[in-house]
A and B are shown apart, each in its own frame.
Chain A
Amino acid sequence: MSIVVDHVNFIYGADTEHSVHALKDVCLNISDGEFIGVIGHTGSGKSTLMQHLNGLLKASSGSIYFNGQDIYDKDYKLKDLRLKVGLVFQYPEHQLFETDVFSDIKFGPMNQGLTKKEAELRAYEALRMVDFPEEFYYASPFELSGGQKRRAAIAGVLAMNPEVLILDEPTAGLDPKGRFEILDQIKKLQTERHMTIILVSHSMEDVAEYVDRIVVMNNGEVFADGSPREIFGYVKELEAIGLSAPQIGYIARNLRRAGFALPDGIITVSEAADAIMEILG
């Protein structure tokens, strides 16, 4: 059970003068239950790659295998793939359209052909998964706060029961506490429900804190692939492609330069505090 991306190329507007080579020979192996962060500057190919994973875009060349099956095989039903790989777009609350939250969430499963009762059960479970406050189940989406809208929109995708959840910047525009709450919920989906999570993010701090593995995209290519510790060790290289390390990484680096014998690979505040106390405590 996994996703294999095998030498995928994608060219936007292939037959036109303005063709853009958006993905270049991308190879990735995503195993079940992983929590992967995808980082890269705007236009690096992150979103294009994500749209390949659930079949919204078709590779110009190369193959993608989902659970061992070639998704470009003519017998393969892309509709099934889209149920198994849920995609939460940027600012997903713009896609809430029903008059109340509960109807909005059950729309997906109803559309999938489930009975009303089954769909409602799914909607209920999905709202519980994101810890959505019960008193707002029948509220209009307009009455919700930013964080609540975001949760409702994520629940809409979870109600389809996906095995893989892809989130494109799920915390953009949320206040810090709202951000941590959503990320904690997403982490729980991985640890408690064994979902595979792919998180596209511009926040290096969040990625350092939450994911197990980072894929760095640059100019349509996979620039690096490894654990947060490995990836954020390459500060110079990341800066050269428009990214950065978490602020704490810079503190650790400057302290090392000043003669503190800190270990390599410090990427969170608590790790830094522990290491500094070892020396000064």
Chain B
Amino acid sequence: MDLIKARDVLFEYIRRDDEGNVEGITTALDHVSLDVKQGDFVCILGHNGSGKSTLAKHINALLYPEEGSIWVDGINTRDDEKILEVRRRAGMVFQNPDNQIIGQVVEEDVGFGPENLGVPTSEIWERVEESLKAVGMYEYREFSPNKLSGGQKQRVSIAGVLAMHPKCIVLDEPTAMLDPKGRKEVVRAVRGLNQVEGVTVILITHYMEETVHADKIFVMDKGKVVMQGPPKDIFSQVEALKELRLDVPQVTLLAYELKKRGLDLPDGILTVDEMVDELKKLKGI
């Protein structure tokens, strides 16, 4: 079943001068249609300004389409009366953890969301516990957030969303400000949510390595979805991605370079192990 369904979504940012006359229009989403299946892990790639974040904000009704519609779990995001229902189903995590954490203590921060939803107190504590365990931060429940590393803070932000029991989590560049270890921690936690808890994940990122395990990748350019498919198909199109100001993982780039120089390798090698296996075959070992 499709958890998220977008049809012909149009959204424009309109700039006006002091008198309110229109100075310019930027089409951020240009008739976007896409479907995300329940339980999928999807990634959205695209250069700065391609419309990724605008799309993300449509999924939990922070923005509405001017034309077209988006349905989250069957609810049209334009339906004002059901806006809280939409936000309860689709949680968001942003780039900077420091802008998202409000509690003085980790468990208090994670409990804020469900409390706000009117969940009974005893259940709040259950949810806090299971959410912190799901992201591997339970041992830090009594810490002050400002004593945590960037990766740990970001995992607390994710737990805060998870405690609201969403069907889907949208993460907008959650690792952009983190060091390699923090990045790995967050990606591992997000994959865990998807595989163990069955939460649908929509990950926006500039780090191509984080997308190789996705079920599906959407590539955006100038407000349009220009490519979509499994990582293998997307990353075999090295030239097209480069034209879209994107990149491929180093291992895929190596495969591409070796093919150009005449080695007989299959398309879409995405992991170190695949690469080593293919080269072993060629060497006959």
Partner-B contacts on A (CB < 8 A): 40-43, 90, 143, 145-147, 172-179, 202, 204-205, 242-244, 246-248, 250-251, 254-255, 258-260, 269-270, 272-273, 276-277, 279-281
Contact = CB atoms under 8 A, between A and B. Distances in A.
B31 to A, nearest CB: 22
A247 B272 contact: yes
Interface string B240-255: 0010011101110110
B206 A173 contact: yes
A42 B150 contact: yes
Contacts of B151: 42
A78 to B, nearest CB: 29
B173 A173 contact: yes
A242 B276 contact: no
Contacts of B8: none
A281 B264 CA distance: 11
29 contacts: A41-B149, A41-B181, A42-B150, A42-B182, A146-B48, A175-B246, A176-B246, A177-B245, A177-B247, A178-B47, A178-B48, A202-B183, A242-B181, A243-B181, A246-B250, A248-B251, A250-B272, A251-B250, A251-B251, A251-B254, A254-B273, A258-B276, A260-B283, A270-B257, A273-B258, A273-B261, A276-B279, A280-B283, A281-B261
B180 A243 contact: yes
A247 B251 contact: yes
Interface string B191-222: 00000000000000010110000000000000
Nearest to B181: A242
Contact of A254 (B150, B206, B276): B276
Nearest to A259: B285
A260 B285 CA distance: 10
Contacts of B250: 205, 246-248, 251, 269
Contacts of A204: 180
A246 B115 CA distance: 43
A174 B209 CA distance: 16
Contacts of B149: 41-43
Given A145-B48, A204-B180, A255-B276, A272 B246 contact: no
Contacts of A176: 47, 206, 208, 245-247
Nearest to A245: B180
B206 A175 contact: yes
Interface in B255-285: 257-258, 261-263, 272-273, 275-276, 279-280, 282-283, 285
Given A251-B275, A251-B276, A177 B47 contact: yes
B178 A258 contact: no
Interface in B91-113: 95
Given A41-B149, A42-B182, A277-B258, 14 more contacts: A90-B177, A173-B95, A173-B176, A173-B177, A176-B47, A178-B245, A202-B179, A205-B250, A242-B179, A247-B250, A255-B276, A260-B283, A273-B261, A280-B279
B49 interface: yes
Contact of A258 (B150, B182, B247, B285): B285
A30 to B, nearest CB: 23
Nearest to B175: A202
Contacts of B254: 248, 251, 269, 272-273, 276
Contacts of A259: 283, 285
Nearest to A201: B179
A40 B180 CA distance: 9
B48 A147 contact: yes
Contacts of A276: 254, 258, 263, 279
Contacts of A42: 149-151, 178-179, 182
